[in-house]
Chains A and B, each alone.
Chain A
């Protein structure tokens, strides 16, 4: 399963979405499944891309859809630890304007 979804632990409001391997249109449905059932307000989503090897523009689109969903529910989305190639794709698209991108160590205790 390329997408692992960890619901918030007790006392936390962070949903972790971990994507390993390819993050492209083939993961569209699975990716959506990870957040669409979380209807409670104020949930934040951490998209862990540390194991993502490849990402295409439809994946960028999926991130925007998650962002819209989170914002409607008063939550936010950040991207965690993208690898070099994936980070480059985020950079070219200047997605740091839309998402906070965190590296190892930061945000872990939130």
Chain B
């Protein structure tokens, strides 16, 4: 054991080697006791500051911020109990042990010392061995305190990061839905519960409520891929099951084993008075008739949660149900029925159902459940996240109505809603540089999905585009191609005219819509050319001689309808195909 360098009180000077000496404060009115304790502390590598009474002790404490305090109980001016209370009150989160110097055996005094904030006792007079063991024991507690603080600070930082990520990326992008009511009560800073809302391009609404295993940063890991996938795909008009499949794939890749996402997706069709629900691991989804004040349907969890393994086709089926204007959907996380009061009783299914029935009678569904839950829980903080969402089944369309159509379009189409439109116009030299057909196909594939009859659409678009460009904009005559020389001449000519092209345009417009049984794609192509006499061709499409070069016959066989407008520089082709399983619904309700 090294001898102390000196018994002074300057901590900086004390650290002549790299190990700073620790500082003890000894508060005792008896000088002999102080001297004895000081020499023993010095022998244990402590510097010592002294005080003669409690008041001085508090002053010395403020001035030197010691690492440990030894406190006599009975002293003039201010006793050790009062001084300890004052010192402990200043400490806040940090830990400085106060050890009372007292004759052991007086139980009442010991109790008062502990109440005042004392951490331990040292008998008076003390022995070096007793002092040393106290110092070691208290040092252990001090280290634990420090470790705990570091961990707590880290946890706090992580919670803040998680919350920021969540608020920025997940919650902020939700759409405002008139009549949508939400209650999101997190158990920790970031909740494992995630609510996402997005409109499809056709005005349908998707609402997704999910519940990740765990809380805090752990639970936020999956919320980013979830929110990104959900919004991107909803925005492109993907069907509910396509979105669920993609989310599941993403989560299977990104979540560690043992973490998964319970969730339910509610798809409100704005025009068809129909909802579709998918429930994987969440409590029942309720469909409620507020006009007749009754429960219309339950959608129980019939699918496994997401992020565990790839879904089978039947696991991606949405349950469909017809609805009326006053109908509402109520979804909740398990935190609602599992919420506990101060007696540790659960809110439970029965109370939940009673509150729903009451809400139907009072015309305040959400308010009734919320109030009932709040009254039940009182001030008890939730152990799990509590989330509840009420969704109106009749929603205002958010997107633009379909454009007015000319009457020449097949009558069956007029009742269909336009799911989305896409348009590309190429002008002048851009016509030489870009091929819009693959772009259009790529776009279609992204938005329609695998049920798209890609080959047929590619053929139709390519033929019509080439016609518009070659014969319309470039003014090439198809009759040139009637001989072998003509062919090569045609293509030489085409190349040179394209290279020198400075004006003219071709515009491609696609509109996609989904009907009860079929999907429709309308392809309109306009060009800046003079057009051609399509009337003859319409009257007698069998007359191949004049227009065979335009590949129109092939196009005509692939399409439901093919029409020319204006002077013949504007063509419209409509192609339909059966709705695939990818549209994600089979009618199981009703």
Q: Which residues of A are at the interface with B, using a C-beta cutoff of 8 A?
A: 25, 56-58, 60-62, 64-65, 68, 91-95, 97-98
Contact = CB atoms under 8 A, between A and B. Distances in A.
11 contacts: A58-B213, A58-B258, A60-B213, A61-B213, A61-B257, A64-B257, A64-B260, A64-B308, A65-B258, A94-B303, A98-B308
B280 interface: yes
Of A58, A91, A93, most buried by chain B (CB within 10 Å of CB) is A93
A92 B285 CA distance: 12
Given A92-B301, A98-B308, A61 B260 contact: yes
A64 B281 contact: no
Interface string B249-277: 00000000111101000000000000000
B587 interface: no
8 smallest CB-CB distances across A and B, nearest first, come from A61-B258, A94-B304, A65-B258, A93-B281, A57-B213, A92-B301, A68-B257, A61-B213
Contacts, number: 52
B394 to A, nearest CB: 29
A93 B305 contact: yes
Tell me the interface secondary structure of chain B in the complex: loop
Contacts of A94: 280-281, 301-305
Nearest to A65: B258
A64 B257 CA distance: 7
Nearest to B300: A92
B29 interface: no
Contacts of A64: 257-258, 260, 308
A95 B302 CA distance: 10
A95 B281 CA distance: 9
A40 B258 CA distance: 22
B526 interface: no
Contacts of A56: 384
A93 B304 contact: yes
Given A58-B213, A92-B281, A93-B262, A65 B304 contact: no
B214 interface: yes
Interface in B308-352: 308-309, 334
Given A61-B259, A64-B260, A65-B257, A98 B304 contact: yes
Nearest to A92: B301
B283 interface: yes
